[in-house]
């Protein structure tokens, strides 16, 4: 059930305070040490951030998608590595269980995910299956009351900290495409599961991605999410939702970058006046402000449709495409407004410029969103819906 407006406002203000007083002063430290201090992670647990989307009956805050987006918009105003720490528990790591889990699976995992005692990761991508997720080769072969998993997953966010993985693996070896996949909850401690070393990345230091390798890893049949053959449905349903979450993050970052631009341009003087008074600089800031505002409106439209239980595949893809491209443009302008200073690591914009690059890649590249939009429109036209 949605929060009343006063409680909602309190929640947003609490998160804003956490961002301003705890996260922002530590952004540089997190970037340099490639880790979020445990004390800050504990504050996230205390605030309930790991359980934003998990129903109250399982110990979460049970927010609507709109409320979750409002929280993530606030979290966007600091290094996105902070959001990533709890992001998989709120989104792609937990939602397979929330949407498709049995009551037993929910009881077993959701309370621990809600408190942050357990961390969930989403394992779809493979070395040879990125955008073409349906071609995943990881195999899950039935053996009595177990499935035996073999294969490897790549670039798995939070794998180094994960307690469980939602793994998409092929149960029907004779069906090569998306229809042959099934989804599983795999515990990290399962014999035969190995986690690779964190990758060295362009940005978002403090949020790790690693390979996850399965070598004869035996998981009980009770760990399957949904029916055999429903793996792609699980993954895509989770991603439809995740794409709205990432859009909210992108808009939050864009708003932070506007703030950085305005502050710098109001102080920095050239040709005898603050550069914000130069029209070409003004133009870059104005465009960024307007685009961030448009992104916010798109996100709000998408999440309200989600909460109204409308099909959001189309709007989620369009919003993800637009908002992530938008924040890329805004980050580029933010560096431009800062001039040479924007290229120096002391300024937040240098870091954000690198941090936002992944947004156009993960949870489906811009080109995949274009493909989803095109296909959905074609489907709707055929069905006479447009």
What does residue 91 show for φ and ψ, rounded to 5 degrees?
-115, -110
Count of Cβ atoms closer than 10 Å to residue 238 Cβ: 27
User: How far, in Å, are 301, 305, 319, 376, 379 from residue 385 at the CA level?
Assistant: 19, 17, 20, 11, 9
364 scored as a contact of ligand COS (CB under 6 A): yes
Which of 87, 178, 180, 226 contacts ligand COS by CB under 6 A? 178
Closest CA to 365 of 329, 317, 327, 331: 317
Report the alpha-carbon distance of residue 208 to residue 81 in Å, rounded: 9
Burial class (CB in 10 A: 0-12, 13-18, 19+), 164: buried
Tell me how far, at minimum, the Cβ of 65 lies from ligand COS, in Å. 15
CA 8 to chain centre: 22
Report the alpha-carbon distance of residue 111 to residue 114 in Å, rounded: 5
239 scored as a contact of ligand COS (CB under 6 A): yes
Binding mask 61-100 for ligand COS (x = CB under 6 A): ----------------------------------------
Q: In the complex with ligand COS, which residue's Cβ is closer, 77 or 241?
A: 241
Q: How many residues at the interface with ligand COS, by CB under 6 A?
A: 22
106 scored as a contact of ligand COS (CB under 6 A): no
Angle (deg, nearest 10), helices 80-90 and 231-267: 160
Which of 9, 10, 33, 131 contacts ligand COS by CB under 6 A? 131
Q: β-strands 120-123, 164-170: how paired?
A: parallel
Contact positions with ligand COS (CB under 6 A) in 279-318: 313
Binding mask 250-279 for ligand COS (x = CB under 6 A): ------------------------------
Tell me how far, at minimum, the Cβ of 223 lies from ligand COS, in Å. 20
133 scored as a contact of ligand COS (CB under 6 A): yes
Of 27, 260, 350, 363, which residue is the catalytic one? 363
Tell me how far, at minimum, the Cβ of 132 lies from ligand COS, in Å. 6
Q: In the complex with ligand COS, which residue's Cβ is closer, 265 or 317?
A: 317
Report the alpha-carbon distance of residue 334 to residue 103 in Å, rounded: 48
Candidates 70-78, 99-107, 119-127, 272-280 — which segment interacts with ligand COS by CB under 6 A?
A: 119-127
167 scored as a contact of ligand COS (CB under 6 A): no
Closest CA to 100 of 182, 214, 217: 182
Binding mask 13-52 for ligand COS (x = CB under 6 A): ----------------------------------------
244 scored as a contact of ligand COS (CB under 6 A): no
Q: Is 187 one of the annotated active-site residues of the chain?
A: no
What does residue 385 show for φ and ψ, rounded to 5 degrees?
-85, -20
Tell me how far, at minimum, the Cβ of 310 lies from ligand COS, in Å. 13
Candidates 33-41, 266-274, 329-337, 367-375 — which segment interacts with ligand COS by CB under 6 A?
A: 367-375
Report the alpha-carbon distance of residue 113 to residue 301 in Å, rounded: 28
End-to-end CA distance of the chain: 32
Report the alpha-carbon distance of residue 167 to residue 146 in Å, rounded: 15
236 scored as a contact of ligand COS (CB under 6 A): yes
Provide the 8-state DSSP code for 357: G
Element (H, E) at 246: helix 231-267
User: How far, in Å, are 36, 61, 163 from residue 235 at the CA level?
Assistant: 28, 23, 19
Which of 362, 366, 370, 377 contacts ligand COS by CB under 6 A? 362
What six digits make up the tokens of 339?
């001039």
126 scored as a contact of ligand COS (CB under 6 A): no
Residues forming the active site: 363
Report the interface residues with ligand COS, using CB under 6 A: 122, 124-125, 131-134, 177-178, 232-233, 236-237, 239-240, 313, 362-364, 368, 371-372
């Amino acid at each position: 059930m949605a929060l009343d407006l006063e409680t909602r406002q309190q929640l947003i203000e609490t998160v804003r305070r956490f961002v301003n007083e705890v996260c922002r002063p530590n952004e540089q430290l997190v970037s340099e040490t490639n880790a979020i201090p445990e004390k800050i992670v504990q504050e996230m647990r205390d605030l309930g951030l790991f359980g934003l989307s998990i129903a109250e009956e399982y110990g979460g805050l049970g927010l609507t998608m709109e409320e979750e987006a409002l929280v993530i918009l606030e979290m966007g105003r600091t290094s996105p590595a902070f959001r990533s720490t709890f992001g998989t528990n709120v989104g792609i790591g937990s939602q397979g269980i929330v949407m498709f889990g049995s009551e037993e699976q929910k009881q077993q995992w959701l309370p621990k995910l809600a408190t942050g005692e357990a961390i969930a990761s989403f394992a779809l991508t493979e070395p040879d299956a990125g955008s073409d997720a349906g071609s995943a080769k990881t195999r899950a072969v039935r053996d009595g009351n177990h499935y035996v998993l073999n294969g490897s997953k790549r670039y798995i966010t939070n794998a180094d900290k994960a307690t469980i993985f939602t793994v998409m693996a092929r149960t029907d070896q004779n069906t090569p495409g998306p229809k042959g996949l099934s989804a599983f909850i795999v515990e990290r401690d399962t014999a035969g599961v190995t986690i690779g070393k964190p990758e060295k990345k362009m940005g978002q230091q403090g949020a790790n991605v690693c390979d996850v390798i399965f070598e004869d890893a035996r998981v009980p049949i009770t760990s399957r999410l949904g029916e055999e053959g429903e793996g792609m449905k699980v993954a895509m349903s989770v991603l439809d939702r995740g794409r709205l979450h990432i859009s909210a993050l992108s808009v939050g970052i864009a708003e932070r970058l506007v703030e950085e631009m305005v502050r710098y341009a109001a102080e920095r003087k050239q040709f005898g006046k603050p550069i914000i008074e130069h029209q070409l600089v003004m133009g870059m800031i104005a465009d960024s402000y307007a685009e961030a505002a448009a992104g916010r409106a798109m996100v709000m439209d998408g999440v309200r449709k989600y909460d109204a239980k409308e099909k959001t595949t189309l709007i989620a893809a369009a919003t993800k495409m637009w908002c992530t491209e938008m924040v890329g443009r805004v980050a580029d302008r933010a560096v431009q407004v800062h001039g040479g200073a924007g290229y120096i690591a002391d300024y937040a914009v240098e870091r954000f410029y690198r941090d936002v690059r992944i947004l156009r890649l993960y949870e489906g590249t811009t080109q995949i969103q274009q493909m989803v939009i095109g296909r959905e429109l074609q489907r709707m036209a055929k069905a006479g819906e447009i």
